[in-house]
């Protein structure tokens, strides 16, 4: 496989990082992007200016993006994974590779693959195994699908940490989703446990017991990081956890925990959108102390 024209669907945090990362790589002559924010009056000017400054060609539509690309990377929110594949499929050129970076269940990825492959494209799933910052395009990812083994050397030549786990679709996503139940679950548990401990004034007793049981983890620093990530990206995490719940359901189990985690992440996201955390950790290089986030939650409690 060889690609000269790369396209990004989704020009959010991940899309910006990947588009900048592949621009200028060996053999790449053009990088394009399409995002619905390019067409929305409230965001259009800012997003188009960012793309122009980064040397990314902002396309006017999904059709234009597909026409301009030989390799397409889909980097949208989990809830839009299938909708984006459905929108792109009619415009996919024969032989175009569609690399799906989104956090979605095996069943969702298989539905996406059916649409892309039926249109003459080649669908490859990716399970992105941790937060893209601070790794950038070097973030560890697992690839799956019939063309994964052909695509992997291209990505690694660009500096990506891409490993093939299966030629079967759904394996990479299952690994990612099962991990997400644990990681996003820990975030939700820390937020609930720490905030409740803070409310009772017993945090100085609770955290040392965690430190004693799991001495390799700095529970205060880890707590601050968990709070900060959920406050910043709770909406995206909630959507991912709904896909994790779908993954559990597709395996034949009731997703009690995954659904609860999604609800907790959504709760924090809604509070963040309402301005509850305004000023907490703003502009700081490191996350604010977890106590600041917890205090913001305590202040938002209803009588």
pLDDT digits (tens, 9 = 90+) for 172-197: 999 999 999 999 999 999 999 999 99
CATH number among 3.30.230.10, 1.20.1260.10, 2.40.160.20, 3.40.50.720, domain 5-167: 3.40.50.720
Mean pLDDT on 55-66 = 98
Mean pLDDT on 232-244 = 96
Give percent of the chain with pLDDT exceeding 70: 99
Give percent of the chain with pLDDT exceeding 90: 95
Residue that the structure tokens 């989104």 belong to = 102
The pLDDT of residue 75: 97
The pLDDT of residue 282: 64
The pLDDT of residue 78: 94
How far is Cα 7 from Cα 5, in angstroms, rounded to an integer? 7
Would you identify the CATH topology of the domain 173-299?
1.10.1040
Tokens of 131: 């937060």
The pLDDT of residue 283: 59
Q: Is the pLDDT of residue 227 over 70?
A: yes
- Strand pairing partners for 166? 144
Q: Is the pLDDT of residue 61 over 90?
A: yes
- Strand pairing partners for 6? 31, 71
The pLDDT of residue 59: 98
Mean pLDDT on 265-287 = 88
Question: What value, to the nearest 5°, has the Cα angle with vertex 275 and ends 269 and 281?
Answer: 85
Split at pLDDT 50, 70, 90, the class of 281 is confident
- Torsion angle of C-alpha atoms 181, 241, 15, 42, degrees rounded to 10: -150
Sequence spans of domains, the chain:
5-167, 173-299
Q: Is the pLDDT of residue 151 over 80?
A: yes
- Strand pairing partners for 144? 125, 166
Q: Is the pLDDT of residue 257 over 90?
A: yes
The pLDDT of residue 265: 98
Backbone angles phi, psi at 101, to 5 degrees: -90, -5
For every residue of the chain, DSSP letters joined together read ---SEEEEE--SHHHHHHHHHHTTSTT--EEEEE-GGGT-TTTHHHHHHHHHHHT-EE-SSHHHHHHT-SEEEE---GGGHHHHHHHHGGGPPTT-EEEE-S---HHHHHHHHHHHHHTT-EEEEEEE-S-HHHHGGGSEEEEESTTHHHHHHHHHHTT-EEEEEESSTTHHHHHHHHHHHHHHHHHHHHHHHHHHHHHHT-HHHHHHHHHHHSTTS-HHHHHHHHHHHHHHHHHHHHHHHHHHHHHHHHTTS--HHHHHHHHHHHHHHHHHHTTTTTTTTTT-SSPPPHHHHHHHHHHT---
Q: Is the pLDDT of residue 287 over 90?
A: no
The pLDDT of residue 284: 62
Question: Tens digits of per-residue pLDDT, 23-37?
Answer: 989 899 999 999 999
Q: How much is the mean pLDDT over the chain?
A: 96
pTM of the model: 0.91
């Amino acid at each position: 496989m060889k690609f000269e024209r790369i396209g990004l669907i989704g020009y959010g945090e991940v899309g910006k990082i990947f588009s900048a990362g592949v621009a200028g790589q060996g053999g790449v002559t053009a990088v394009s992007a399409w995002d619905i924010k390019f067409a929305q009056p409230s965001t259009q000017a800012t997003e188009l200016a960012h793309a122009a400054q980064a040397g990314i060609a902002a396309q006017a539509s999904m059709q234009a993006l597909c026409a301009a690309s030989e390799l397409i990377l889909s980097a949208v929110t989990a809830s839009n994974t299938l909708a984006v594949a459905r929108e792109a499929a009619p415009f996919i050129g024969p032989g175009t590779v569609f690399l799906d970076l989104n956090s979605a269940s095996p069943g969702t990825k298989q539905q996406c693959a059916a649409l892309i492959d039926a249109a003459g494209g080649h669908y490859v799933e990716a399970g992105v195994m941790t937060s893209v910052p601070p790794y950038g395009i070097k973030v560890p990812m697992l690839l799956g699908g019939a063309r994964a083994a052909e695509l992997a050397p291209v990505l690694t030549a660009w500096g990506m940490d891409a490993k093939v786990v299966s030629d079967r679709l759904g394996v990479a996503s299952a690994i990612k989703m099962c991990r997400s139940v644990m990681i996003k679950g820990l975030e939700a548990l820390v937020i609930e446990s720490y905030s409740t401990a803070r409310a009772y004034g017993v945090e100085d007793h609770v955290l040392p017991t965690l430190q004693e049981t799991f001495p390799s983890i700095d529970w205060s620093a880890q707590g601050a990081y968990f709070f900060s990530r959920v406050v910043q990206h709770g909406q995206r995490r909630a959507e991912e956890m709904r896909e994790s719940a779908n993954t559990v359901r597709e395996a034949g189990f009731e997703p009690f925990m995954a659904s609860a985690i999604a609800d907790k992440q959504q709760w924090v996201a809604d509070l963040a959108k309402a301005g509850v955390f305004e000023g907490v950790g703003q502009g700081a290089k490191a996350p604010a102390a977890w106590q600041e986030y917890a205090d913001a939650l305590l202040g938002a409690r209803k009588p």
